[in-house]
Amino acid sequence: MTTAVRDVAFALEFSEDAPPLVHNVLAIRWTTDVLRILKQIRDEATNRARDKDEEAFVHLPFASLRAQLQLEIEDWTALKDDIGLRSFPDLTKEPGPWGFLPCQKGQDYSECVRDAFARWSEGALSHFSQGRDAYTLGISALRKLNESNQVIQFAQSQVQVFPWDTAGKSGAFSPFNITAGWLASQLAGKELFPELGPVVRVVGSPEGNKAEVMTRPHHAAGGYFSLVCEISLETLPGATKPIVYLKFKRRRWADSLNNRYPASPTIGGYVFPHHARPNSAYRFSVMRRKDAWVTDLGYPVYEHALDLVIGYQDEDVLRYPCDERASVVVMVKAEVAEASRSNLQAGVPLVDQADAFASAANALEGFGLRPFSGFSARKPIRHKTPPLSVLKAEVAVARLLARHGIDDTDTESAIETATLAPSNRWFRLQPPTPDPAHDRVVQAIQTLVKDTAYATDAGRQRIYFLSYTADDIEWVKTTASAILGDNTEVFSAPLPLNTHGPRILLPVDTGSRKQRFDARVREWQKFVDQIGVPDRAMILIQAPLFYETGDGQRKPDDNVNKLAARTALSSRGCTVQYLLPSEPGRMDRFLPRLQASVLDLAFGHAGFVWGLRQAREACFGSHPGAPQWACAVSSLQVHTEWDRQQSVLVATRLECATGESWVRFAHAEAEHVMSPWMRFDQGAKYLASRRVELPRTHADQRMLLANFFADTFDDITSLDPSAVVFIDSTRTARLASWLGDVGVRTPQRQIAAGVVLSQRWPMLRVLRVREQAPAIGQEKFHGHSTEYGMPIRSWTSTQRLFEVEGTSAPTFWSLAKPSTHHKRGASCYRSILLPASSKANEASEAFAMFPAQPDKQHLTSRAVEFVILQKQPQDSNLQLASFAQHLRAGMLTARNEPWVTTPTPLRIIEKLSEYMRA
């Protein structure tokens, strides 16, 4: 079958011969006087709440005002979700804008905002203030400010959207504030996804540089879904114009809420007023309050103004009778809101993405936008990624029986002998037949493990399995021996008392989080001392999510328990991994989780990866300048709901020959701190034993990062002047201008004051990494047409490497292997004519109509951007890009996939965040 192939990036660029696209915009902000009063009301309400709960915090009822503003004014280009009222910055400075509007009707907009504010302040805000006895005099003060037109301020600016030079901006505001929202407004009312009707617009926030349009809810596979197009404005390294990314996702709608122990207290919903406002959709929230779900104060506003059916607030909102007049839906969110009667899965197939992209490109063509074409496929240096197969049940059973020396033709009886439990405890139906070739599979895995630093790390050869029950111990020992070898010892012990369970079953159940946390830590420390857990031991804790309380109810594990375990155990040098218990008859679920937990414990918590040596040999061979170390610099940020944010700068280094991993940190205490290098698992102990924060001011943060770069580069080059360093610019570019897209234009990369990269470290290879690349699909034309004359085509995605044109530094997009492979080219909602088989002949009978696959998960291959900032004279751009791409494989994720979003020296840093939360 003769086929033609082309690559398509779902991105748009501005045509050079198109006239400039200029907008006059109004930015709207609150006056300082209004914010000062609102802050006092909020603070007094919080103080009243803390009389009952010292950790309480309340927000103003701004959802009601936001809903009124959206209904009063349909022209919003962008609008903050909290309309600037969630947190109050330094009131000695001019407040920032919270919304953007076109300039044409400034006076009308002012009156609309004042009217909405008057209704809100006399209604929802007054009720809030009086009910909490919180600065009730403030309501009359706000009334006077509104009457004298001192509530809001407008600032006008002219913004040239396209073309736009990233070196500067026109006027007071950047095109980033408005462009995504403006493009979404141009797409609203047009059909992007064939057969699904026109899309509606959801007003986005100016800070997020994103906006979205989506289809109305549609029914399939027993549930409802909408297809979403997310629009964002992005830049390329050194390029003088932005490009527009279009990303697509499937949003599923829930039919039930978790009324027992939801994982989150909030879930989002949408109102689609098909009749009243056919081109718009409006957000609202459903929140957990005192064991009940309630809709936010914005929902009644929509209910009244949009003529919704009355009586479907709070939890009943999920039973809203959606019809041609309106639909009200709530998003699916794991352990919060479920589509229990639906078989719908996540993801949008490439064919649906491609058709929607083509429709969007056609709709925006009149504004000078066209599909981005400045990239081309490059053939990377070949390298065979080390394989790591999931231990299938057949192999696990065979290994279990071999460990116990059981050679019984009756598999059920043999399993019962080995595990002391009947076979149906593990397998609902017949148990799998033991794989006679299991030794070959195990040998392949252990050969791979021996090629990592784990095999030579004598200090980490013990796993302590802690559980309330010993039911799963034989499977744990079997999996550990199959993956890590027989030298790894597995010890079993009961989970210590008073460390896990619901609050009502544990001591100090009514104390503050800190008191409960400290109590759990003390219990863990006593346990470690009693059984003599050695330094650097690996701890696998099996603890359920819910516990029986003796009164017929089940309560969740106290949310401080896991944090306390990590703190106490990591303080003794141990690494910690959690594992849920097996469910009766569901070994098909338990075995993959168990394997991932063992791998994560042995490798992820130690920073060990696969394939580093092989990737270096494939890309650099035996050349004297081949790198001996692969390094990375990034930052970590962790924020919990009861604690302020923690931040730290992190550097890693991995020895290519052994895979051994080291880490260091930079943060602020009484003065700036830059730690020495330490083993990766020691880094976990370092973070769990202290609070880490960056300096308070932006200038001090920049200085610390500059010094950290310089000191780290000095250390690395003392070991290996030819090392490869990966830098995550997503998190660090705001503090280091030489990493930004504008800074890339300057060939002299100034790391710190008077310190230039090419002068001080001339042989160091430096690559910038950013998780910012468009989705890319491969379209295949099969040389035949439908009866209507349309060419028969299909879409697929494979592991690829693309070079990007028009940048100031060599730039590549790396596309990972797709996560799922259902019928390639099939849609999630419509039937499509596709090749019946990849081996079919060229006859027209080789094609058939394939039905929609709404019940299949369609995950798009992940793309990441590499930018080569410095290389050695003999290096080729493709050589370094290939090395970076190969290092995207080598870690096993929760879905047992070896491909991750960034090269592994960067990716392993994420594991440390678990210990920061402690």
Domains and CATH numbers, the chain: 25-156 (no CATH), 393-606 (no CATH), 627-771+902-916 (3.30.420), 776-850 (no CATH)
Inter-residue contact 173 to 160 (CB < 8 Å): no
Residue 873: the pLDDT is: 95
In the predicted model, what is the mean pLDDT of residues 484-501? 92
pTM over 0.75? The answer is: yes
Residue 822: the pLDDT is: 65
Amino acid occupying residue 417: T
Per cent of the chain over pLDDT 70 is 93
Token pair listed for 147: 């009457």
pLDDT band at 171 (very low <50, low <70, confident <90, very high): very low
Residue 594: the pLDDT is: 92
In the predicted model, what is the mean pLDDT of residues 266-287? 95
Pairing mode, if any, of strands 755-756 and 200-202?
unpaired
pLDDT band at 169 (very low <50, low <70, confident <90, very high): very low
Give the Cα separation of 135 and 223 in Å (integer).
47
Inter-residue contact 23 to 161 (CB < 8 Å): yes
Residue-wise pLDDT for 640-655, tens only, equals 544 567 889 999 999 9
Amino acid occupying residue 65: L
Per the document, the length of the chain is 918
Give the Cα separation of 803 and 185 in Å (integer).
32
Q: Coil, helix or strand for 620?
A: helix
Inter-residue contact 216 to 197 (CB < 8 Å): yes
In the predicted model, what is the mean pLDDT of residues 770-784? 87
Give the Cα separation of 375 and 758 in Å (integer).
28
What does each C-alpha distance from 188 to 11, 109, 277 come to in angstroms? 18, 22, 11
pLDDT band at 894 (very low <50, low <70, confident <90, very high): very low
Inter-residue contact 825 to 908 (CB < 8 Å): no
In the predicted model, what is the mean pLDDT of residues 807-822? 83
Given a cut of 60, is residue 893 above it in pLDDT? Answer: no
Residue 230: the pLDDT is: 96
In the predicted model, what is the mean pLDDT of residues 244-253? 96
In the predicted model, what is the mean pLDDT of residues 223-239? 93
Inter-residue contact 504 to 549 (CB < 8 Å): yes
Residue 166: the pLDDT is: 44
Given a cut of 50, is residue 103 above it in pLDDT? Answer: yes
Pick 550 or 804 by higher pLDDT.
Answer: 804
Pick 728 or 57 by higher pLDDT.
Answer: 728
